[in-house]
Every structure is written in structure tokens, then in C-alpha cells.
Structure 1
Amino acid sequence: MWCDLGKLRTTVALVCLVTVSAGISDIGFAVRQRNYKPQEFRAVLHGLGYSVKVTNDALTDEEIKKAISEFQKGYKLTVDGKAGQKTQAFAANIVKILQGNLNAALKPNPPLPRDQFYSPRMEKLVKEYQKKNQLTETGIADLVLRQKLDENAKKAIGQTMKPTAKPTVKPTTKPTVKPTTKPTVKPTTKPKATPTVKPTATPSTTTSTTPSAESTTTPSTKAIP
């Protein structure tokens, strides 16, 4: 993974921060064209803790070839003692990560540019970090220092990404609107209608009946003694 951030952005830097150690495999790194001059590449190796003089001599003497071989072996590259493109790409990537970590841990103003060079200002910031952590001020960021710096940078970035302010606004008002109106309409009419019609007709005929036929026949004869 090639972390090319330009200017430091905490959210992006947190993703791209990795611990640079001897166990990193070369498979995960994309080879990118790098054109170090001999003095620049020597400065990188020297700044990363390898025993090499910073001169403008060609990268062919035994000292520089040994330093390059150690670097290649540590990062599981093809060990040939030559500063090929993959070797340069690895070195450049480590420098860029180191620059990002220094920016996060020390917050220099202006921040270090994210480039491939181990500049005098970068060396100065390494010394500042060493002084801050009570280390010998050499300006050399060897593997042990880079691992420690990586941890500090992650903590610094984590602190800046956490919310520091808590919500202070609480609901201070309660609902003051209550239903002030009650139903005022009541049923004012009651059923007043009563049956006004009464039966006025009474039976004109009685139900009592008398025998309509009487016995008209009387005895016509009397008993004669």
C-alpha cells in the first residue's frame, strides 16, 4: 500500500499509518519510480540508522552496498546491494510514513512535506522528538525509534479524532401549552315531547246483554179439582 497523503489529514493519516518493521513483506508495496541522487539516497539510509557516509559518491563502494543489502534483507527484498527501483520505493515509503508520524506527534508549523527526502529539517524534528522523550539526540530514526514514534502518532491522532465537547444544550423548556378549552357545548335540549293524544272515545255500547227472547207461552189450562 502506498500512502501518499500530501498534507497531513488526521483521518487519512490514521488509515495510512503502519508500523515499519523488518517483517513487512515486499508483496504489498507497489513499485513507484524514484530517482534518488546518490547523496539523497545515502542521506535516507543514514537517517534510517544504517552505517553509511552522506556523500555524493556513486552507490558502488562496499560501505553503501553493505548498507543497501542490510536494508533489503530487513524488508525481504531481493538482496543484491543495489539501489534498484523497488529498493528506492521502499526507502521512500518509509520516509514518508516517518514524516507523517512526526507531523502527528510534534505538530510542527509548517508540517513536513510528504516527500521522499530525509531533509535537514526532518533530522531536526527527529532530534526534537528524541529530546522530548529523553533519548539521545542523534537525528537518526532507527527502527526502535520509528516504532515508538508510530505508537505516539497513533495516540495523538486518536485524541484529535475523539469528540472533546459534550452536548451542553439540554431541553430547558417544557411543553407549556395545555389544552385550555374544554368542550362547552352540552346537549341543551332534552326530549320534551310527550304523547299528547289521549283516547277520547269511550265505548258507547255496553257489553251486557239481556235475553232478547222471552217465554210468551203461558199455561192455558188450569187444573180442575
Structure 2
Amino acid sequence: MNSQFGITIATVLMGAAFSVQPAWAVRSQDYAPEQFISVLNGFGYPVSLSAPLTDPIVQQAIRDFQAQNRLPVDGTLNPPTQDKAADLARQLQNDLNRVIQPSPQLPGSQFYGKQTESAVKLFQRQNRLPETGIATFETRQRISDILNDATPRNPTTSPIAPPPTTSVPLGNLYNESEFRFVLRGLGYDINPQRPLTDQPVVLAIRDFQQRYGLSVNGRADQPTQEKAAAIVRNMRFSLRVVLKSDLPIDRYYDTPTENAVRTFQSQVGLGVDGIATVRVRQRLDAEAKR
């Protein structure tokens, strides 16, 4: 009788253990460090795919990911963090399957690999977004808009009319005004109201291209815009780290960016003008790596 009672209790307890699963049981497996870094990179966090998990930038990206998703913030791959990453990756793949119907379909897995990257690029190309393979907030918002019918689309036509042809070939990350403000924000002494064909602006672009090993043509072409966007994103990320702010990691040099630069300059005793010159950015990077 006692033995039978013990077996019954054990059976009940075993059934309870299997019915109350921890949240992270939805993952097919734990992430290897490089797999998790690939997810971070895929969702727009400025981490290098070859960086180790102990890299300070990776550690900060994990903490940012945790804070933005209201998870325990400790910079480690704790189970809730892995579970949330798996959920986001799986949801992205399922959404892409519905929106672009790739063949073969994405597996709906927890990983951000080449197949997911290619599908994101295809979606971005179809929707005239920067074709990076990175599921930025802008990309995910566009996917959400389409799924929620917020923006009606004709699948047989381009969702956005092509921009008018200008005398200066542009990349597709910035319009002329946005790129001029980026140049000014990075320390180039130009009038942000003048066109990109204005001689001081052309000289500024040529200087930027030469500094970063690009083709020196004085035009805001795609490689030039991509380099500028990477610099601004990294700078905004470092400002988040140093100022402990919620500044979005974006490519624009806007008023919030300028204000954040001013705050940083004031904190470290630099001239306060909101302009992120090379010297300011070097000091900012050094502070962020501490």
C-alpha cells in the first residue's frame, strides 16, 4: 500500500515537472557563442561576427539586448536571454515566409544564418530599403506594416516609386539633406543647406572617401553612404554605452545625436558644439571600451 502510494506520488510529481516547463525549453538547443553573436549582428547590434563573447562590445550588446527586452541584465547568455533571441529569430523567419514566400522556405529556427540573411536582403531589395541582410528596426517595422496591412501593396509592382534622377548619383541610405547633416555632424565645415554639388561639399566628400580608403569621386555613392552609416551607428552605440541612454542605434545625425554628443563633450571636458570630429569619436570609443 505504501509502495503503491509512493509510486503514485512520484508519477504525479513527474507529470507536474513535465507540465511546468521553464520558458527556455522552447529552444531546440543552447546557443554556441558564435551563434548568439550572429543573432545579435543580424538584429543590428554593432558586433563583429568574429568577436569572442568576452569582447567588451559584445558584452555591452548583450546587456543592451537584455535591457531592451526587459530581461535580467548581466551580460551573459542566461536562459531567458537565449529564449528571447530564439523567439525573435523564429518570428522573423516565419514573418519573412509569409511576406516574400522564399523557396525553400525558412526553417523557423532560432539561428540567424546565411539563409535568413539572404531572405532579409530579398525583402529589403523588394521594398527599396538598404540591402544589408541585417534585420534593422526599419526593416522589421516594414515587415510588420505589410503583415498588418498598414501600407497596401501591389505585389506585382514596386512598393515605392523610384526616386527622381539627380545630377549626383546617390546611394540609397540617405537623401541629400540627410547626408549633408551627417558630413557636418562628423566634423566637415559645410553649409547643410547647400546641394551635394556645392564645391565645399564635394571636397568634404572626397576627404571622407580618402580617409576611409574609398574610391575618391566626390559623390555620395553607395559605398560612401554605407561607411558613413557604419560610423554613425557605432558612434550612437558608444554614446548609449557611455551615457547609459536609450539613444536608438541608427544611421542619422539628428538632433538627439547632436544633443548626446554635447552631453559627452561636456562630461569629458571637450569643446561643446555637438560635432563628432575624429578626436571626439576617438575619445568616445576609448570611454566606451572601459
Scaled to the shorter chain, the TM-score interval is 0.5 to 0.7
Equivalent position SS for 2:172: coil
Using the TM superposition, give the Cα deviation of residue 135 of structure 1 relative to its aligned residue in structure 2, in angstroms: 1.2
Pairwise mapping of residues 113-132 of structure 1 onto structure 2 (< 5 A)?
A: 113-132=248-267
Larger radius of gyration: 1
Which residue number in structure 2 is paired with residue 104 of structure 1?
241
Structure-2 separation of matches of 1:140 and 1:76: 22
| Compared CA separation, residues 147 and 130, structure 1 to 2 (3 A) | same
1:12 Cα offset (Å): 8.1
2:215 pairs, out of 78, 88, 104, with: 78
Q: How big is the alpha-carbon RMSD for the aligned residues of Structure 1 and Structure 2?
A: 3.0
SS across alignment from 2:191: coil
CA distance in 2, matches of 1:37, 1:13: 34
Distance 2:273 2:215 in 1: 30
Aligned-partner residue type, residue 96 of structure 1: R
Residue 211 of structure 1: aligned partner? none
Matches within 5 A, 1:160-171: none
Deviations along 1:124-143, whole A, 9 cap, x unmatched? Answer: 01000000011110100111
Q: How far apart are the structure 2 equivalents of 1:90 and 1:38?
A: 16
Percent sequence identity over aligned pairs: 38
Contiguous gaps of at least 5 residues in structure 1: 18-30, 156-225
- The 1:79–1:107 alpha-carbon spacing in structure 2 relative to 1, beyond 3 Å, is same
Q: Which residue of 2 aligns with 1:42?
A: 180
Residue aligning to 1:63: 200
Within 2, Cα distance between the matches of 1:62 and 1:80? 13
Partner of 1:90: 227
CA contact (8 A) 1:4 1:114 kept: no
Q: Is the 8 A contact 1:5 1:12 kept in 2?
A: no
Structure number with greater CO (CA < 8 Å, separation at least 6) is: 1
The unaligned stretches of length 5 or more in structure 2 are 1-40, 48-52, 61-130, 133-170
Cα distance, 1:34 vs. partner?
3.3
TM-score, L = length of structure 2:
0.43
Q: Is the 8 A contact 1:34 1:89 kept in 2?
A: no
CA–CA distance in structure 2, aligned partners of residues 107 and 137 of structure 1: 19
